[in-house]
Structure formats: C-alpha cells, structure tokens
Structure 1
Amino acid sequence: MGDHFKADTDQLGEFLKTLEGCVRDLDEARAALDHVRADQIGTKRLDEACDGFQERWKYGSEQTKKMIDAISEGVKSNKKGYEEVEKALEKAFNDMAQESTSGGKGAK
C-alpha cells in the first residue's frame, strides 16, 4: 500500500503559498472595486446594476476567502502531520540502524 501513497510536503507548502496569494489577490480586487462608485458609471439602470454587482461581489469574495482559509488550515495541519511522521520514521530507522551496527548494544 505504501507504494501507492506519497505526500510531498514541499508541494503542500507551495500549495499554501498559492492559496495565500489567492486571498491577497481577492482582497486587492475587492479594494480596487471599492473606489468605483455606481454614480460614476452612467445611466441609472447601469448604476443600479453596478451597485448590485458590488454587493454580490463583496459577499461572494468574503465567502470564497472563508473557504480558502479553511482549506489552508487543513493543508497546514496535514503538512505538519506528514512532517512529524517523516521525522518519527527517520528517527526509528536511525535507531534501528544504530542498534544493528552496535550488535544490540546501542545507546538508549
């Protein structure tokens, strides 16, 4: 089974950076749109449509940010878990190697 499952903690770290970049980009886009007021666009109908879009965009981007934050926390937790398992395995293998080379009289 171990041959079929591999976790690349460096890739998980890169994925976290990508998610954080998405949140930053989303915040920057929303901030840029905050400066555009509906009364600057044109007709009353277009102004109302822009106001509606601004409200939906704000709500949608906030919900997306919450989801990205939740995914980021899960990935961070998984990455930490994989790293802890890797360290424990490395220690166990080193201990076994030391035990076998010392003829069963390894340091404890």
Structure 2
Amino acid sequence: MADFTVSTEFLAKLAQDLKGCGDELDQGLKAFEAASHSGTGYDFLDEACGHFKEKWAFGLKKVRECVKILDDGLDKVQQSYDGTEQSITKALTPTAAQA
C-alpha cells in the first residue's frame, strides 16, 4: 500500500503564498496607475493603457475571489487533517487501563 502524507505546514504556506499573489498583483496595478497619471502624450496609447488597467483590475478581482475560496478550502482541509492526526494518535496511544 502506498504511503499518503499531507504536510499541514505546507498547506498553511500555500494559503499564505496565495494571499501574497493578490498583493503582488495589486502592487503592479498601483504602479501602473501611478505611471499612467502623467499620460503618454498619445491618445490611442492612453486609451489602450486605460483598457489594460481595467482588465488588470478585473483580473485582480477574480484572482482575489479564487484565492479566498482556495484559502477557505485549505483551512478546512488543514483542520480536517489535524483532527484526523489527533484522532489517530489518541486511538493508538495506550491508556492507563490498557497498560
């Protein structure tokens, strides 16, 4: 039978990394907004930049929604594995009456 292990520490790190993903994208959007305030001097390029900024903001919103769902799910998975680990440890630990 194959071994199956789950690192709850890894799950916690994954959740943290996913949250950081949204923050990184947000920083990129803020930098883009700061750069676009001065304008490029070309209307067509300013319009394209505005369109890109809207798409980036929409994508960031979707990423944050997905990260929230994944984070909630990972939290539940981590709690389940921790609970299972504790239950197995308890079941396999002899009590004073059994000793």
State the TM-score, normalized to the length of structure 1: 0.79
Partner of 2:81: 82
1:38-49 correspondence runs (5 A): 40-49=39-48
* Distance in 2 of aligned mates of 1:32 and 1:73: 29
Larger radius of gyration: 1
Q: Answer yes or no: is the 8 Å Cα contact 2:12–2:78 preserved in 1.
A: yes
Question: Helix, strand or coil: the match of 1:6?
Answer: coil
Q: Answer yes or no: is the 8 Å Cα contact 1:23–1:65 preserved in 2.
A: yes
Shift of 1:91: 1.2
Mind listing any 5+ residue stretches in structure 1 that lack a counterpart?
102-108
Q: Note the alpha carbon deviations across 1:35-81, whole angstroms, 9 max, x for none.
A: 23366112111111111111111111111111111111111110111
Instruction: Give the aligned length.
Output: 98
* Distance in 1 of aligned mates of 2:59 and 2:41: 25
1:1-108 correspondence runs (5 A): 3-37=2-36, 40-94=39-93, 97-98=94-95, 99-101=97-99
Query: Sequence identity, in percent?
Result: 26
| Further displaced range: 76-85 or 30-39 | 30-39
Q: Answer yes or no: is the 8 Å Cα contact 2:15–2:74 preserved in 1.
A: yes
Aligned CA RMSD, in angstroms, stands at 1.7
* Distance in 1 of aligned mates of 2:72 and 2:41: 43
Amino acid across the alignment from 1:65: R
Amino acid across the alignment from 2:98: S
